[in-house]
Amino acid sequence: MNKQERAIREKRTNEAIKKDYMGASGKLGMIAKFLGHPIVQEGTGMMDVTFLDDPYDDEDEIPTTENLEVQEMGYEFNGLTSGLHLEIKYLYADQEIVVQYKGYTVYKEAAGDLFAFAPFPEWENLIDKLCLKVKARKKKVEESLEPVIEELVQVKKQSWLQKMRMRWGI
């Protein structure tokens, strides 16, 4: 990477930080999480392929899904269902966030490093509108979790008291 490209990358990184796009807790990650759907993988992703017949294969055996492992890999927001030509993906493995607008990658970040950021008001205005929906959804989720959290706090307090009674005879 030459000196000029490095300077542009640094400038765009600073701009992305100011606009709160960076990271899973930034605007883009929150849109993917609260308005998107989980990306899941079934199985290990590795397949054993052979073209020879297995002499020990039991043909009466019915394949089941109980041995399949389901793993959440991240979140994806697809705006086409609501008339927006915007897609946001957040993948856990590489801490990668990719935003595509009208088929073009306008933002790409992986492990805290910015690889692409084309700031245009056209897609950034959509992000700001979606953030309003995220705030409403997040508030609703937090309100529904509030009683559960309160109960967990009470259980934690009781277990701490019980531990102190056992240890110190209080």
* DSSP at 66: T
Q: Which of 137, 140, 106, 99 is nearest to 120 (CA)?
A: 106
| Amino acid letter, residue 31 | I
Q: Give yes or no for a contact between 105 and 97, defined as CB atoms under 8 angstroms apart.
A: no
Segment (H or E) for 110: strand 104-110
Name the more confident of 10 and 154. Answer: 10
For residue range 69-114, list pLDDT tens digits in order.
778 899 999 988 888 899 999 998 889 999 999 989 999 999 889 9
Q: Which of 53-67, 94-108, 129-143 has the lowest mean pLDDT?
A: 53-67
Q: Give yes or no for a contact between 79 and 126, defined as CB atoms under 8 angstroms apart.
A: yes
User: How distant, in Å, are the alpha carbons of 119, 133, 167 from that of 129?
Assistant: 16, 7, 55
Coil, strand or helix at 145: helix
Q: Which of 113, 122, 141 is nearest to 30 (CA)?
A: 141
Coil, strand or helix at 67: coil
pLDDT at position 155:
82
In the block, residue with structure tokens 């933002």? 107
Q: Name the token pair of 105.
A: 């990658």
